[in-house]
Amino acid sequence: MDVRLQKVIADSGLASRRKAEEFIAQGRVTVNGQVVCELGTKVDPSGRSTIADLLPGVHVRVFPVGRLDFDSEGLMLLTNDGELAQLLLHPRHHVPKTYLIKVKGMLAPEHIDALEKGIMLDDGRTGPAVVKKVGKATENSWLEVTIFEGRKHQVKRMLDAVHHPVLKLKRVKFGPLTLGDLPTGHYRYLTDREANAVRELARERQDVQAGGGQARARQARVKRARAKWARNTRSSRQRNVSPKQVST
C-alpha cells in the first residue's frame, strides 16, 4: 500500500512529520537512489526490513545518528535525543568514523598517500584521512580507514577515485565508541562512561558552533584529539570504551 513519504520517515523515528517535510523540500531525501523534493509523494514501504526490526523490547522511539548503506554493516548509534544527534552530525564538525574495508586489488603507497592528504571528488576535496593496511588476500586487500567528514558514500567514492572499488565495508568505530564483538543484528545499551563520552563530544560541537574565545579553545582541543586519534590509529587498533549501539 502506498503511503506518503513524510509519514514513512516519521514512523521510522528519524524525525517528526513536519521535520520530514522540511527534509523533503530541501532535497535531503532519496527514494531508490532518486532525490524526491515534492511533498505528498507516495511510496511503498513494504518488502524490506528496517533497523526497527533489530530492536525487540525497545519501547521508546529511537533513530540512528547518521546512516549506513544498505550493502554495508557495523556500528550504528541510536538515540531518542534529537539535539544530541544534530550536534554529532553537524556538517562542519563530524566525529571520527573508522571503517574496516575490503577493496579490490592492492593499494600502492602513492594511493594511500593521496587518501591521507585528501581526494578531489565531484563535490570538492575531502579532508585528510587515516589509512592503515591491515591484511591482504590473493587479489584484494583490507584497510582500516578513518574519516572526519560525513559526505554521502564518501569512503566508497574515495576508493573509487584511486581505482580500488570497495567490496565490503564495516564501521568499527564512531567517535569514542567501538563495535567490539557485538554480533551482527544485535544491540546493547551504552555504559555510563560511554554515554558521558558521547555527551562531552556533543558539548564540544555545541561550543564550537556558538563561536567566541571559549569555542576556539574547545576547537583547539578537538584538533588535538583528532591528531591523537590519528596517531593511535596508526600505531595499533585499540579497544576503547564502546544512548544505544547496534550492529547491522
Residue 233 has pLDDT above 60, yes or no: no
| Nine-digit cell string for 239 | 579497544
pLDDT-derived band at 86, boundaries 50, 70, 90: confident
> Model-level pTM greater than 0.75?
no
Q: Do 36 and 94 sit in the same domain of this protein?
A: no
The Cα 8–Cα 205 span in angstroms is 30
Q: Do 23 and 67 sit in the same domain of this protein?
A: no
| Nine-digit cell string for 1 | 500500500
| Nine-digit cell string for 122 | 565531484
Q: Do 125 and 244 sit in the same domain of this protein?
A: yes
Mean pLDDT of the region 180-200: 91
Which pLDDT does position 156 carry in this prediction?
Answer: 94
Q: Do 11 and 100 sit in the same domain of this protein?
A: no
Question: What is the four-CA torsion angle of 20, 24, 29, 33, rounded to 10 degrees?
Answer: 140
Which pLDDT does position 88 carry in this prediction?
Answer: 84
- Give me the percent of the chain exceeding a pLDDT of 70: 79
pLDDT-derived band at 218, boundaries 50, 70, 90: low
Q: Do 30 and 86 sit in the same domain of this protein?
A: no
- CATH code for the domain of 63: 3.30.2350.10
Mean pLDDT of the region 181-205: 89
Which pLDDT does position 157 carry in this prediction?
Answer: 94
Which pLDDT does position 235 carry in this prediction?
Answer: 58
Q: Does 53 qualify as catalytic in the annotation?
A: no
- CATH code for the domain of 13: 3.10.290.10
Mean pLDDT of the region 231-246: 51
Q: Do 4 and 64 sit in the same domain of this protein?
A: no
Sequence-separated (6 or more) residues with CB below 8 Å from residue 108:
none
Residue that is last in its domain, among 48, 63, 81: 48
Domains held by the chain: number: 2
User: Among 88-97, 108-117, 192-201, whose mean pLDDT is lowest?
Assistant: 88-97
| Nine-digit cell string for 160 | 573509487
Catalytic residue among 2, 44, 53, 69: 69
Which pLDDT does position 241 carry in this prediction?
Answer: 35
Which pLDDT does position 104 carry in this prediction?
Answer: 93
| Domain, as residue range, for 43 | 1-48
